[in-house]
Amino acid sequence: MHMRDWEELEKACRSCSRCELCKTRKNVVFGSGDRHAKLMFVGEGPGETEDETGLPFVGRAGKLLDAMLASVGLERSRVYIANIVKCRPPQNRDPLPEEREMCFPWLDNQIRLISPAIIVCLGRIAAMRFIKPDFKITQEHGLWFEYFGIKTMAIYHPAALLRD
């Protein structure tokens, strides 16, 4: 799949039924921000507030992400923010490997259109996809890797920082 038109891509994505998560979602959380951003953030999956609003990182973890961005002089409107899966997993469980696989073509298409210089993985689930399946967040957070020519690193997920 490679759609060249954002509107077409978003429309198709919003009616996706490739995995079971479509049955329990309220909204597809497509992603948001600058479609020409050099910096892209990828989280795990929508939580309750994201499912309600259709926007990524708008709950408590999102507020922390905003503060983290502000601390380096960035606003979310200047980066692009998306998730490994676009629909909320029930009870906020980790998205299953098959859900991540089924969803990935949407994110992949977004990455091709944005062509960011840097992808920051928020947490282990995204790092497993962009860096390596056995990524160890405690040992390897903050280290640089490469994903098809795009510099990438993982940092702790803001929700994990709030929890621990």
Q: Which is nearer to ligand URA, 8 or 90 (CB)?
A: 90
Q: Which is nearer to ligand URA, 45 or 116 (CB)?
A: 45
Q: Which is nearer to ligand URA, 2 or 116 (CB)?
A: 116
Q: Which residues form the interface with ligand URA (CB under 6 A)?
A: 43-47, 50, 56-57, 59, 61-62, 83, 159
Q: Which helix (H) or strand (E) holds 19?
A: none
Q: Which is nearer to ligand URA, 33 or 43 (CB)?
A: 43
Cα 111 from chain centroid (whole Å): 11
d(CA 64, CA 71): 10
* Token pair 């859900």: residue: 99
Q: Find the length of the chain.
A: 164
Nearest distance from C-beta of residue 4 to ligand URA, angstroms: 26
Nearest distance from C-beta of residue 26 to ligand URA, angstroms: 14
Q: Are 153 and 121 in contact (CB under 8 A)?
A: yes
Q: Are 48 and 92 in contact (CB under 8 A)?
A: yes
Q: Which is nearer to ligand URA, 33 or 45 (CB)?
A: 45
**Distant-in-sequence, close-in-space partners of 154: CB < 8 Å, separation ≥ 6:** 120, 121, 122, 123, 124, 126, 127, 130, 131, 135, 137, 140, 141, 142
What tokens appear for 39 in the block? 């910096």
Nearest distance from C-beta of residue 122 to ligand URA, angstroms: 6
